[in-house]
Structure 1
């Protein structure tokens, strides 16, 4: 009798549990937003930002963390000011000669040559002409940094490829090459 009662109880519990099951959608959703996420249309307006703006705009005059503004303008006057006044902020312990040489080889040597003599591979193949020899120019740390930052004549700016610290490393290496010529 007890065995029959246990079997009947087990059968009724099984029928009760399975009879409530709906195959079209699950009964219990532990993470409903993952199962049926709220759909947003791409580039549509959102109530996340006030006044219907698409995003928050940084405050006027704000500067990103870790960024030091370069205060010389991209002009001949800015070049002359940088040449006369701008000095490297790196101290002797911060200068990494191997890193400066590596960056110079990657970004500069193709035109200026490994020795800074203006005879890089592109000049030898006559793709660019008139690349200066560092020995022939009156250059300073400031003028080199300014030219690497903004570019000059047919040389483009390297500000997007190199951080400020890396540009100073390259500047130090160029001054070293100039002293060896």
Structure 2
């Protein structure tokens, strides 16, 4: 049987070990046994990366993959498909104040930098001379007479020098942008 002095030593050693195991610095997790798993080298998006053959960290999406929530768009960037989209696509959303308000936000984020806040084609990129080609005026008769499907198509795959925005804007938000263009810019 152990004497009282021996029990005290065991308790003191146990408490000492527990105190040494506690770390008062919350920025470190304590002991690391597999350091390379805890502090793996991270690469910033636009930096060089020796792990890929092209040397880039930010890799393009795998060809043929479809992001969640997106369906493949059946039309291509050409005039015949634009007209076909105009004949076959109908806006599934009603022109409610909430939908138009969301469309205004989407327009402000993705469209206004080129087409201007009022849709007159005098966006910041063009007026600051950072983009030399004048964007289309969304106030023109051509756009006023375009169907919702045509405008949706142009937002989705682009037209002329305009790049596609279908990979960046959800389909529902594209339709809301169309509602904003047709109901607010054309008042």
How much does 1:117 deviate?
2.8
Paired residue secondary structure (2:3)? helix
- Which segment drifts farther, 162-171 or 134-143? 134-143
Counterpart of 2:101 in structure 1 is: 98
How much does 1:124 deviate?
3.9
For structure 1, the 5+ residue unaligned runs are 1-7, 27-33, 43-60
1:146 aligns with 2:153: yes
Deviations 1:52-82 (A, max 9, x none): xxxxxxxxx9966533332223333322211
Give the length in aligned residue pairs.
Answer: 148
Paired residue secondary structure (1:105)? helix
**Counterparts in 2 of 1:71 and 1:108: CA distance versus 1, 3 Å:** same
TM-score in terms of structure 1 length: 0.60
Counterpart of 1:131 in structure 2 is: 135
For structure 2, the 5+ residue unaligned runs are 21-29, 41-63
Distance 2:175 2:184 in 1: 14
Q: Which structure has the bigger radius of gyration?
A: 1
Counterpart of 1:108 in structure 2 is: 111
Distance 1:125 1:18 in 2: 73
Distance 2:13 2:119 in 1: 84
Deviations 1:146-165 (A, max 9, x none): 11111122211222432211
